[in-house]
Amino acid sequence: MSHMENSKNWIAVCSLDEIVPNTGVCALIEGEQVAVFHVSHGDTRVFAIGNYDINAEAAVLARGLIGSLGDRIVVASPIYKHHFDLRTGECIEVPEHSVSSFPARVEGGKVWVSL
């Protein structure tokens, strides 16, 4: 763990095995809806972004489909299919509608997110 990670407030969201590989769940963390994704393509990674899709005016990103655009890992919003980069939260089609991204990691079999 780096010094920067030590200074952040990490919150255990759930066990990794509670998120079906290549899907997401919604977690309420400190009053904020966060979409947490378990991506498994050879290796296992977790990502956390804001759950609210301003394009659709709905908190739905956790239910989107995970895929890739070039070397980007993205989730397609279930309503208008806008793509959000899981690393950065950037909305590919409408960058001004990007969402926050949060540090996420797996430790001790649990998914941890820092706001």
The pTM (predicted TM-score) of the whole model is 0.92
pLDDT at 8: 75
The domains of the chain are located at 25-114
Could you report the per-residue pLDDT of 8-28, keeping only the tens digit for each? Answer: 799 999 999 999 999 999 999
End-to-end Cα separation, the chain, in angstroms = 16
* 4 sits in which H/E element: helix 3-6
Closest CA to 16 of 115, 86, 105: 105
CATH number of the structural domain 25-114: 2.102.10.10
Per-residue confidence band for 42, with pLDDT thresholds at 50, 70 and 90: confident
